[in-house]
Amino acid sequence: MEKLIDLISGQLAQAFERAGYDASYGRASVSGRPDLCEYQCNGALPAAKQYHKAPMAIAEDVVQQLAGSGMFSLVEAVKPGFINLRLAPEAVADYVNQMAVSEKFGLQQENPPKSVVIDYGGANVAKPLHVGHIRPAIIGEAIKRIERYFGNQVVGDVHLGDWGLQMGLIIEGVRDKNPELPYFDPDFTGEYPTEAPFTISELEKIYPAASARSKEDPEFSARAHAATVKLQQGDRGYMAIWQHIMNVSVADLKKNYANLNVEFDLWKGESDAEPYIADMVQRFRDEGYAVESQGALVVPVQLPEDKKEIPPCIILKSDGATLYATTDLATLVQREQDYHPDRVIYVVDKRQGLHFEQVFRTAKKTGIIRPETQLIHIGFGTMNGKDGKPFKTRSGGLMRLEYLLDEITDTVKQRILQNDVITGDAVDEIAHIIAVAALKYGDLSNLATKDYAFDMDRFSATEGNTGPYILYTIVRIKSILAKYAEQCGTIPAQLTILPPQTQTEKDLMLQLSRFADDLTQAYVDIQPNVLCAYIYELSGAVNRFYHETRILSESDPARQQGYIGLITLAKRVLETCIDLLGFEAPEKM
């Protein structure tokens, strides 16, 4: 289906043309003054310059041409040359009826589909998932789902931090605790144990302890560096212990991400780039892209038009060690080979902006990635506490994701128990569903690049611009539908939405009809917050309609069926949108 705004623009374009003006001036936009009109066109103002005519005269010419159009109930020229439009009730009803029977509500798919890789999550193996990892998981998941909804071939990759110094630190930490383990015996040639020598909670203590020690103990730090290099060179015992770290850690990460409805297609990490590094570096040298600089190997990426200095991208350190940029570049080699992506989207902390600038420039300059491939860094801001400082636990430590989710779930649960609508086992299950919505919506409704304050009470409230409010709206519709079904036995399959008789009814239809417009904007701009704003408006429209309309006591069956059709569509659209945002609604709350 064509987007409603495009249909309106089409009518305007024809009218401009028939009136003797260029069709390109006929573009509609959603009205900034809903009290005056629903859509508007400002094209007469720029047209006035081209045709040396008063804008008002042009607007009046165009309005005349639209007189016969069945699409509008109001078309008027107002000073200084705007065209105000209201849609005919039949036209809006017709549009939402078409939406209701079209796949994906008539959304236009990407044709041909694009190949998209989304790099999000970015957890570091053996370090607990903390709040710093909440945003990439939540935002990346929503972006992935939206990309997929448009028909693209999308691969979501967690891109674990599994190859850096933290691995060497852990290996040395384990050695100090259990030096007798066969992994540390260079003469050992047998099979290594299949059981890991640590549990996840032990592992999570080993890393911070080792990290702290390396800062004070130069001998330990040197050992950890050496162990990292040895691991990266493929030492058999170290690889075996690394594999244990990975297994234990990834199992735990999967559980945590699953709790947030976050799923990855690929569980690759920095280590998977290793096989691509040697050839890539050799090619950089052979083709003259890489140069020696103070012992290191670098690719200069400064451009003459740059206003600020962009330091060269370091590929190898002077000791030959690879860096974060090296694995990111080699990962792009692998992604180009496996997916030939049209775009690669990185959802990573905005403080890594320079890193990605360097990596992207290097990738383009050296031809790792085709010139037309978009490399996009969605740099998100920090999640702060209410005090505006980075979010910490009550005792001041780094907040683990698990605990944060537990805390929200607890807050929500107290509320559920107070309301007393839900009892028994369902309480915990529903509290979890609502908590996930509170957390995710609280995050996603902000522009990703901005820092925001996490406010437990506000985010979990059922009133205001919150996840629970959206869920509450869906649950309310579900309950009306259940009552209606009870009243009349079954809900008819075909429910024709009738032309609206009241403004709230029309407003609900208008808001529904903007689904494709707003979702497309969220998709093109890669901004899930646009979709949040859409469902917040839609929920408001649903609730106003509900308050003003006697749905269940309507005596005209056709009208009543129309209402039911309308709220059914609203429910389906809301459910689709929250699924795209990565959460779901309970049956009751």
Nearer to ligand ARG, 184 or 324 (CB): 324
Q: In what order do the strands lie in the sheet with 153-157?
A: 153-157, 115-119, 343-349, 374-380
Nearer to ligand ARG, 6 or 263 (CB): 263
Whether residue 112 is preceded by a cis peptide bond, meaning omega within 30 degrees of 0, is yes
Site string for ligand ARG, 218-257 (x = CB under 6 A): ----------------------------------------
Nearer to ligand ARG, 129 or 444 (CB): 129
Looking only at residues 404 through 433 of this chain, which bind ligand ARG when binding is defined by CB under 6 A? none
Cα–Cα distance, 224 to 205 (Å, whole number): 16
**Can you tell me whether residue 266 is helix, strand or coil?**
strand
Looking only at residues 326 through 385 of this chain, which bind ligand ARG when binding is defined by CB under 6 A? 328, 346, 348
Nearer to ligand ARG, 86 or 133 (CB): 133
Nearer to ligand ARG, 253 or 574 (CB): 253
Q: Is the dihedral of CA 478, 482, 487, 493 positive or negative?
A: positive
388: how many CB neighbours lie within 10 A of its CB?
9
| Count of residues touching ligand ARG (by CB under 6 A) | 8
Q: At closest approach, how far in Å is the CB of 270 from ligand ARG?
A: 8
Q: How far is the CA of 230 from the CAs of 42, 168, 178, 314, in angstroms?
A: 67, 9, 19, 21
Q: Which one of the spans 74-82, 116-124, 183-191, 272-280 is the region binding ligand ARG (CB under 6 A)?
A: 116-124
> Among 43, 81, 106, 122, which residue sits at the site for ligand ARG (rule: CB under 6 A)?
122
Contact between 162 and ligand ARG by CB under 6 A: the answer reads no
Q: At closest approach, how far in Å is the CB of 351 from ligand ARG?
A: 9
CB-closest chain residue to ligand ARG = 122
Nearer to ligand ARG, 102 or 337 (CB): 337
Q: At closest approach, how far in Å is the CB of 248 from ligand ARG?
A: 18
Q: At closest approach, how far in Å is the CB of 17 from ligand ARG?
A: 50
Looking only at residues 254 through 313 of this chain, which bind ligand ARG when binding is defined by CB under 6 A? none
Question: Mind spelling out the 3-state secondary structure of 510-560?
Answer: HHHHCHHHHHHHHHHCCCHHHHHHHHHHHHHHHHHHHHHCCCCCCCCHHHH
Angle in degrees, 0-180, between the axes of helices 89-101 and 557-581, rounded to the nearest 10: 60
Contact between 119 and ligand ARG by CB under 6 A: the answer reads yes
Q: Which one of the spans 118-126, 367-375, 413-421, 505-513 is the region binding ligand ARG (CB under 6 A)?
A: 118-126
| Beta bridge pairs of residue 75 | 85
Cα–Cα distance, 457 to 363 (Å, whole number): 45
Question: Under a CB-based contact definition with an 8 Å cutoff, are residues 130 and 399 in contact?
Answer: yes
> Among 97, 124, 382, 568, which residue sits at the site for ligand ARG (rule: CB under 6 A)?
124
Amino acid at 419: N
> Among 86, 159, 432, 514, which residue sits at the site for ligand ARG (rule: CB under 6 A)?
159
Q: Which one of the spans 5-13, 94-102, 119-127, 248-256 is the region binding ligand ARG (CB under 6 A)?
A: 119-127
Q: At closest approach, how far in Å is the CB of 311 from ligand ARG?
A: 17
Nearer to ligand ARG, 161 or 468 (CB): 161
Nearer to ligand ARG, 347 or 509 (CB): 347
> Among 161, 237, 528, 562, which residue sits at the site for ligand ARG (rule: CB under 6 A)?
161
Cα–Cα distance, 556 to 113 (Å, whole number): 46
Question: Under a CB-based contact definition with an 8 Å cutoff, are residues 432 and 127 in contact?
Answer: no
According to DSSP, residue 160 is labeled B
Q: Token match 């390396």: residue?
A: 214
Nearer to ligand ARG, 75 or 316 (CB): 316
Q: At closest approach, how far in Å is the CB of 232 from ligand ARG?
A: 16
Contact between 518 and ligand ARG by CB under 6 A: the answer reads no
| Beta bridge pairs of residue 219 | none
What count of residues does the chain have?
A: 589
Listed in sequence order, the residues at least 6 apart from 299 whose beta carbon sits closer than 8 Å to its beta carbon are 284, 289, 290, 291, 312, 313, 315, 362, 365, 366
Among 551, 462, 479, which residue's Cα sits nearest to residue 508?
Answer: 551
Nearer to ligand ARG, 328 or 505 (CB): 328
Nearer to ligand ARG, 71 or 378 (CB): 378
What is the binding site for ligand ARG (CB under 6 A)? 119, 122, 124, 159, 161, 328, 346, 348
